[in-house]
Amino acid sequence: MARPKHPPSGDRELVQIVDTAFDDAVRRSGSWIACHPGCTQCCIGVFAINQLDARRLRDGLLALEQNDPARAKRILHRARTAARRLRRRFPGDASTGILDADTEAFEDFANDEPCPVLDRATGLCDLYASRPMTCRVFGPPVRAAGGLGVCELCFHGATPRQIAACELHADTGELEARLLRRLERATGKRGDTIVAFALGLA
């Protein structure tokens, strides 16, 4: 795997803001959060990640190659195998891994595909510290265009008001957008991708 450049300055701050907001939401959620090590509900099915997420994953894999080369090799094998398997129906440019801007085709794409960073034997994420933002906020209520979304395993028996009281508030402001613009200018690579292509094409 080619050695990536360092992540853009500020990414560590972005991660810290999101992780702190997540911890606060989990504290407020209490026993309504069903997430635990080994639960892989959110690790099945592909999802879009931006170039900051992709860079963070590649840097995490590079660090793992130094500390645990066997595990890093397994991740890379899973990512490359998944990328080859998904190329034919990939809703975007399979040579670059960049998704089309039209997300309609993506909705029914690889919904049963396990994340290549997931160790199926342990049910744990092999690049947990470098995981994308989508993974970092999964579990507590997160506001989206259709309202508050929660994991289907969480908040059983909670009222809408109780769910709203546990909403995750990650005040990243313009930070993520600014970091993303800077990275895309520096690399010339723009657009969202998926984990398999972020690692499997690196």
Domain with 175 in it:
11-200
CA distances from 153 to 29, 52, 108, 131, 143 (A): 13, 28, 21, 21, 17
Q: Is 34 part of a structural domain of the chain? A: yes
Q: Is 181 part of a structural domain of the chain? A: yes
Cβ contacts of 146 within 8 Å, gap of 6 or more: none
Q: Is 57 part of a structural domain of the chain? A: yes
Retrieve residue 68's tokens.
């645990």
CB 73 within 8 A of CB 173: no
Higher pLDDT, 174 or 58: 58
Provide the greatest CA pair distance for the chain: 49
Nearest to 56 by CA among 180, 188, 191, 173: 180
Q: Is 142 part of a structural domain of the chain? A: yes
CA 7 – CA 46 distance, rounded (Å): 23
Q: Is 3 part of a structural domain of the chain? A: no
Q: Is 91 part of a structural domain of the chain? A: yes
CA 17 – CA 11 distance, rounded (Å): 10
**What is the reported pLDDT for 12?**
93
CA 135 – CA 18 distance, rounded (Å): 11
Cβ contacts of 158 within 8 Å, gap of 6 or more: 32, 166
The model's pLDDT over 6-65, given as tens digits with 9 standing for 90+, comes to: 556 789 999 999 999 999 999 999 999 999 899 999 999 999 999 999 999 999 999 999
The model's pLDDT over 85-130, given as tens digits with 9 standing for 90+, comes to: 999 999 999 999 999 987 777 888 999 999 999 999 999 999 999 9
Per-residue pLDDT at 5 exceeds 60? no
**What is the reported pLDDT for 171?**
85
Q: Is 97 part of a structural domain of the chain? A: yes
pTM confidence score: 0.91
Residue 142: helix, strand or coil by DSSP? strand
Query: Residue 80 — left, alpha, or beta (φ > 0 → left; ψ -120 to 50 → alpha)?
Result: alpha
Number of domains in the chain: 1
Q: Is 160 part of a structural domain of the chain? A: yes
**What is the reported pLDDT for 146?**
80
